[in-house]
A = this chain, B = another copy of it.
Amino acid sequence: MNVAIIGATGYGGIELLRLLHQHPFVKVYAIYSSSQEGTNIAALYPHIHTIISHDLQTLDIDHIAKEVDIIFTSTPSGVAGKIVPQLLEKGVKVIDLSGDFRIDDPDIYKEYYNMNQRATQLQKKAIYGLPEWSSFDSSLSFIANPGCFPTVALLGLAPIVQELTIDPASIIIDAKTGVSGAGRSASEATHYPTVNDSVVAYKVNEHQHTPEIEQQLKKWNHTISAITFTPHLIPMTRGIMATMYVTLEEKVTSDEVHHLFTETYRNHPFVRIRPLHSFPRTKEVQGSNFCDIGISYDERTSRLTIVSVIDNLVKGASGQAIQNMNLLCGFDEGAGLQHVPLYP
């Protein structure tokens, strides 16, 4: 099978190339960029020199339609909204890694993304591709790949909000992210002396992933309305940790909650539940598609603390996109994603 990447020069794109290179069933046919046509991707990223060699090309929808089975769009906000309708019309399957097709309500999209949502009628056709919680069938052709924060948060909250009686107003997500999540473009906020040896909270109560998380939580538990989400930038390249707090309104034991998690994810190899009182570090999933989760229930406060970690570029973006592709194509869910985390 042939796949292609639109927007291959960013961190999400280059990570797709890394993972697809080792995928047993697909071949990268072409990579596209709107700004660096003709440049070989290995000139931008010397680490793939002698391994991967593709010249960046100008987007040609007709050509893609003829040669490519699945396309990944890894583009800035607003771009996929323009391109995807043309691709779908030509019969190409699409996995969109941007936020353009994740939000059902155009007003909310506009509020958080500061632009009008395009192709809103297509939005209804997009499957929100959190593989552990989505249903795939062979008729599908279009997946909206979740954001990094929603992925790490929803995998940790899913069992609780679906199976336990919670205070629906109690959900707090305190996230710590590495800097690669900000992308490849340099800015004062990602300048090394700004970030190193320091921590800062940003977009407090304003981050665009807030409505994405809320939308899915509401689908799972209609009593939930607004949540609190605080992202923090820490001195780290890859990885996200979400520390989450939920107040329970039923009597449970720690063991029961732990059992709920292990049962829920028993058949989902990419979600690993730690023993009670053990918590994951982000580096323990580095370079892999795993989401590791630890929990602690405090009977004093009836509050559950859930700690969930992913590699933001793998399970939080490109790895999950490939996991979605695998399910879309009927491949083994883990095909091409069997990396042992790189530790230390």
Chain A residues at the B interface, C-beta cutoff of 8 Å: 11, 14, 17-18, 21-22, 45-52, 169-170, 172, 174, 176, 178-180, 184-188, 190-202, 204-205, 225-228, 230, 232, 234-239, 241, 243, 245, 247, 269, 272, 274, 277-287, 292, 294, 296, 298, 300-301, 303, 305, 307, 338-344
Given the known interface contacts A193-B179, A235-B235, the answer about A201 and B294 at a Cβ–Cβ threshold of 8 Å is yes
A283 CA / B187 CA spacing, docked (Å): 18
Given the known interface contacts A14-B343, A305-B230, the answer about A338 and B22 at a Cβ–Cβ threshold of 8 Å is yes
The 6 sampled A-B contact pairs (Cβ below 8 Å) are A22-B339, A46-B284, A194-B281, A197-B239, A205-B298, A230-B243
Q: How far is the CB of A221 from chain B (nearest CB, A)?
A: 16
Q: Are B186 and A190 in contact (CB under 8 A)?
A: yes
Q: Are B22 and A340 in contact (CB under 8 A)?
A: yes
A294 CA / B204 CA spacing, docked (Å): 10
A188 CA / B202 CA spacing, docked (Å): 22
Q: Which of B48, B190, B199, B296 contacts A340 (CB 8 A)?
A: B48
A343 CA / B298 CA spacing, docked (Å): 38
Measured between beta carbons, the chain B residues less than 8 angstroms from A191 are 184-186, 190-192
Measured between beta carbons, the chain B residues less than 8 angstroms from A178 are 193, 197
Q: Which of B17, B180, B274, B301 contacts A193 (CB 8 A)?
A: B180
Q: Which of B11, B21, B47, B344 contacts A237 (CB 8 A)?
A: B344
Q: Which of B46, B170, B199, B285 contacts A47 (CB 8 A)?
A: B285
A247 CA / B11 CA spacing, docked (Å): 38
Measured between beta carbons, the chain B residues less than 8 angstroms from A190 are 186, 191-193
Q: Which residue of B lies closest to A181 (CB)?
A: B193
Measured between beta carbons, the chain B residues less than 8 angstroms from A199 are 176, 234, 236, 239, 241, 281-282
A307 CA / B48 CA spacing, docked (Å): 18
Q: Are A228 and B298 in contact (CB under 8 A)?
A: yes
A25 CA / B232 CA spacing, docked (Å): 41
Q: Which residue of B lies closest to A180 (CB)?
A: B193
Q: Are B284 and A47 in contact (CB under 8 A)?
A: yes
Q: Are A344 and B11 in contact (CB under 8 A)?
A: yes
A203 CA / B45 CA spacing, docked (Å): 19
A51 CA / B292 CA spacing, docked (Å): 13
Q: Which residue of B lies closest to A196 (CB)?
A: B237
Q: Which residue of B lies closest to A46 (CB)?
A: B284
Q: Which of B196, B201, B284 contacts A243 (CB 8 A)?
A: B201
Measured between beta carbons, the chain B residues less than 8 angstroms from A303 are 172, 228
Q: How far is the CB of A41 from chain B (nearest CB, A)?
A: 12
A187 CA / B191 CA spacing, docked (Å): 7
Q: Are B234 and A18 in contact (CB under 8 A)?
A: no
Given the known interface contacts A14-B343, A285-B47, A338-B22, the answer about A241 and B235 at a Cβ–Cβ threshold of 8 Å is no
Measured between beta carbons, the chain B residues less than 8 angstroms from A237 are 192-193, 196-197, 344
20 extra interface residue pairs, beta carbon distance < 8 Å, beyond A17-B340, A190-B191, A199-B241: A47-B284, A47-B343, A52-B340, A169-B301, A172-B303, A174-B174, A185-B191, A190-B193, A193-B237, A196-B197, A196-B237, A200-B241, A201-B243, A228-B298, A228-B301, A234-B234, A234-B236, A235-B236, A238-B344, A245-B245
